[in-house]
Chain A
């Protein structure tokens, strides 16, 4: 079954490798120039590390001016849908293609029961997707590293590409697409039927829920912000209103208070969000195995 799975999915595996290679080439070129600009703008010195950005607003502004839009906005809006696309393209044909071409009668009339057939395939392809997700995440994390020092890792545009969630997004889209393929029995419609809810859930969680995974903290606004203009929240705002560059500032309250998520919640938030998407994937894949097993009966 391992060979069968490999034989049926090796084309997809090669496409995924090509995608990874293309991303790596881009990341190395753009990341290298970002790194050299980072040091030539003077951001590697004490100004960033010790003062949380205070005193190097000029350097930050120059760096952000050069790279901010490309790395944080353009890359984000393109790469936002990539995990979903990978998931549905790999997942939808897994069962739907067998139904479309009638090969299910061949595949499921061999001596391997179909529940085992689908379980082995899902396990192996899921494993492949986890490796792919980890590799993509590693490349992007390396690429973004200088930028992350200015933005922190809780901003949406960073959080979506680092840690655990990219892999979880891929798995969720994959699970939806496998199930949709079984129910709709056509690859292309199944891709669409899986991608739309994936994107909807993805955006709703990103914009409505993520900032409230844990109750935000309220703290005193940085003295610098109360005394002069020019600090706030968002990208490249140095310092952030809390005075700590990596915090995620959500808003202000009267009395010079600021509502925020502290930077050290990156990993708890990653676990929560990845948990949601992996959970959805597990439900979809479990339902697929169960339906397939039951439909024989």
Chain B
């Protein structure tokens, strides 16, 4: 729109060998990816994958141990005013001051952000039917999430980073929240990076995908390209991995007595599959969720064995990122 496009073809977000170590443990390591301006990107991964660490380095809350991250061509530096002003951030559990009114929160946003758009904030909150004079603690979880998103939008930053924005919301509120995100993205040509456990929610609105597991980027790219580059094959149980086309990402062996088969997610395009295909093999259309789950299960760790789409477990309210 305005300032956002100033960079022309510069990526909205670029991570280059980005890493963060907590003591002797790497929370995130060797993380490299690019996000074009206007993308709505899903950041998925199990608990402890490094999602929050990555986001905190992008928004300027945390300094990388290694590598760097840049927003519209400018390197992010933790605690630097320019970095902070370039990114709107909705932190996990959308923290707000509970005894503030909505109007107080906006006044805080205005006091602490030079480019604050009070008209946008007021109009948005009115459209949502949230009274300005109501205290935050009297709002529902969905309304609190909306106030947080409104504050991030009114900051007028070209990049928005949302950390698990819908995890505490009921299904209807999730739907409304995500619809709002999509509308804002389209309206103002904003770039979004959204983390979530709820893969199905993200599928609806995200056109870009970053899968993080074990502190590493497993996959990053446009959702359409990634879906095209992967196939889901059903093959006889005794098929060796070496016989399969491309790279095997994840394999589920079934011992059903009637038909011993395996379902395999491979990284291979249609051509490669056609070339190697044998009678009895079946290729199914791949969904976004299957792709994500395949990569998450690839790790074989305890954290990824659960279905991330339904895992409701919340990480302990964490100040760990801050402490170390």
Q: Which residues of chain A have a CB within 8 Å of any CB of chain B? A: 1, 3-4, 7-8, 99, 101-106, 108-115, 117, 185, 293, 295-297
Q: Are the C-beta atoms of A115 and B322 separated by less than 8 Å?
A: no
Q: Chain A residue with minimal CB distance to B86? A: A111
Minimal Cβ-Cβ distance residue in A for B97: A103
Given contacts A3-B107, A105-B61, A293-B79, contact A112 B112 (CB under 8 A): yes
The 9 A-B pairs at the shortest CB distance, nearest first, are namely A105-B91, A296-B79, A110-B112, A296-B78, A111-B85, A102-B95, A297-B63, A109-B89, A103-B95
A291 to B98: give the CA distance in the assembly, Å: 27
Report whether B95 and A4 are in contact in the complex, using a CB–CB cutoff of 8 Å: no
In angstroms, how far is the closest chain B Cβ from the Cβ of A237?
Answer: 54
User: Which single residue of chain A is at the shortest CB-CB distance from B88?
Assistant: A109
* Interface pair B85/A296, CB less than 8 Å apart: no
Chain B residues with a Cβ under 8 A of chain A = 56, 59-63, 78-81, 84-85, 87, 89, 91-93, 95-98, 100, 104, 107-109, 111-115, 148, 155, 317, 319, 322-323
Is there contact, CB below 8 Å, between A7 and B84?
no
- Quick check: A99 and B111 within 8 Å, CB to CB? no
Cβ 8 A contact of B61, one of A8, A109, A185: A109
Check B98–A101 contact: CB distance below 8 A.
Answer: yes
Determine the residue in chain A with the shortest Cβ distance to B100: A7
B322 touches A295 (CB 8 A): yes
Closest to B60 in A: A109
> Are B97 and A296 in contact (CB-based, < 8 A)?
no
A115–B77 Cα gap in the complex (Å)?
A: 14
Told that A8-B97, A293-B79 touch, could you supply 10 new A-B pairs with CB distance under 8 A? A1-B112, A4-B111, A103-B96, A106-B95, A106-B97, A109-B61, A110-B84, A113-B81, A296-B79, A297-B79
Inter-chain CA distance A115–B56, complex, in Å, is 17
* A7 and B319 contact, Cβ closer than 8 Å, known pairs A110-B84, A111-B85, A115-B79: no
Whose C-beta in chain A lies nearest to the C-beta of B81?
A113
Task: Name the residue in B98, B104, B112, B115 with the highest tally of chain A Cβ atoms < 10 Å from its Cβ.
Answer: B112
- State A109–B180 Cα separation when bound (angstroms): 22
Q: Is the CB of B92 within 8 A of A102?
A: yes
Could you list some 16 contacts between A and B, CB below 8 A? A1-B112, A3-B111, A7-B108, A102-B95, A105-B95, A106-B97, A109-B59, A109-B60, A109-B87, A110-B84, A110-B108, A111-B81, A111-B112, A111-B155, A115-B79, A293-B79
